[in-house]
Homo-oligomer: A and B are copies of this chain.
Amino acid sequence: MSHTLKNVAVVGAGLVGSGWAIVFARGGAAVRLYDASEAIRAQALQRLGSMLADMQAAGLVGEAAPILARITLCHSLEEAVADADYIQESVLERVEVKQAACAQIDAAMRADAIVGSSSSGIPASAFTEGLAKRSRFLVAHPVNPPHLVPLVELVPAPWTDAGIIPVLRAAMEGWGQAPIEVKGEIEGFILNRLQGALLNEAWALYEAGLASAADIDRTVSEGLGLRWAFMGPFETIDLNAPGGIADYSARLAPLYHRIALSRRDPQPWSAEAIARAEAERRETLPADQLQARTDWRNRRLMALVAHLRDQPK
């Protein structure tokens, strides 16, 4: 590791917090894990062991035991964060819950520690304004689950010390994640805005009866998604015209602008379309099989991550 964040605390040991604990411990950090719920704390280490066993079976980690050994379960927030260089806050996505947890962290942390919040949508400015050490806080939004999908969005509040961003970015790279920097607290950050743009178009096409949900899904899973699993949208178009991205844009920007103009009056996802999509999905996948399919998705993700890791960049 070429970064300086060796001692890491994770506050919140739900699915996201558990994934983070594995990320940091896999990356060599000493991890202190805390959750306010005694029930969650009681099962936390068992869950981590099970997650690591799945990763070992998929070839994503060598030995699970030394990784698990770097994770210490704590029974108070103060005990978890007091010596931490970095603290990952992963409590429930509600502003008052984030405010309360961050106030506790603020009081217990070292003045030079950094705090990243797993917030997927609430900006750091909404829950850190009144904190004494607020310049040390920012959003570090992972994709779920963070130990399988490497992207992390670093989103500073207006008062975040700009100097901590390169430090955290380097540390995230060192832990095997893929950090990006969002330069402003835009709603949805980058990831959910891109996902939302595609989802909004998908729903509009579905609502207009232009294709089934299964066929729209196929357009991505057997078409667009194959390139996007290893190249972003800009690199994709850069390689899709002989003269690169400017050449591609000269040819196709007018088409894409006409598509945008056709969606100038966006409607909410309609109750009718949602009910129809729900019925179509439940015919393909009955509700009692949702968990089994989620397990399938996680196995597929692990296999894909193992495949991608071995490819030339």
Query: Within the complex, which residue of B258, B260, B277 is in contact with A234, where a contact is CB–CB below 8 Å?
Result: B277
The answer to whether the Cβ of A254 comes within 8 Å of any Cβ in the partner chain is yes
B259 touches A188 (CB 8 A): yes
A196 touches B259 (CB 8 A): yes
B194 touches A220 (CB 8 A): yes
Contact flags A100-118 to B (C-beta < 8 A → 1, else 0): 0000000000000000000
Query: Within the complex, which residue of B180, B187, B266, B297 is in contact with A264, where a contact is CB–CB below 8 Å?
Result: B266
A210 touches B184 (CB 8 A): yes
A183 touches B195 (CB 8 A): no
Q: Which residues of B contact A253 (CB under 8 A)?
A: 268-269, 274
A182 touches B201 (CB 8 A): no
Known contacts A216-B234, A220-B228, A228-B228: A261-B266 contact under CB 8 Å: yes
Q: How many Å lie between the Cα of A183 and that of B216 in the bound state?
A: 12
Q: How many residues of A contact B (CB 8 A)?
A: 109
> Using a CB-CB cutoff of 8 Å, which residues 271-311 of chain A contact chain B?
274-275, 277-278, 281-282, 285, 287, 290, 293-294, 296-297, 299-301, 303-305, 307-308, 311
The answer to whether the Cβ of A312 comes within 8 Å of any Cβ in the partner chain is yes
Q: How many Å lie between the Cα of A149 and that of B240 in the bound state?
A: 14
Known contacts A193-B205, A296-B312: A259-B181 contact under CB 8 Å: no
Q: For chain A, what secondary structure do more than half of its interface residues adopt (helix, strand, loop), or is it mixed?
A: helix
A233 touches B202 (CB 8 A): yes
B281 touches A269 (CB 8 A): no
Q: Which residues of B contact A195 (CB under 8 A)?
A: 224, 233
Q: Least Cβ distance of A300 to chain B in Å?
A: 5
Q: Least Cβ distance of A264 to chain B in Å?
A: 6
Known contacts A217-B234, A307-B303, A311-B303: A227-B297 contact under CB 8 Å: yes
> Using a CB-CB cutoff of 8 Å, which residues 169-222 of chain A contact chain B?
178, 180-184, 186-188, 190-202, 205-206, 208-222
Besides A227-B301, A244-B281, 19 new A-B residue pairs in contact (Cβ under 8 A), listed by A number? A143-B223, A180-B216, A181-B211, A182-B211, A182-B215, A183-B209, A187-B255, A193-B259, A194-B205, A197-B200, A213-B232, A221-B229, A224-B228, A238-B285, A239-B293, A239-B294, A244-B282, A249-B269, A261-B266
23 A-B pairs, CB-CB below 8 angstroms? A151-B222, A180-B211, A180-B219, A183-B209, A184-B208, A190-B211, A196-B201, A196-B255, A196-B256, A200-B260, A213-B232, A213-B234, A217-B231, A221-B232, A226-B304, A226-B308, A238-B290, A246-B278, A249-B269, A253-B268, A253-B269, A296-B312, A303-B311
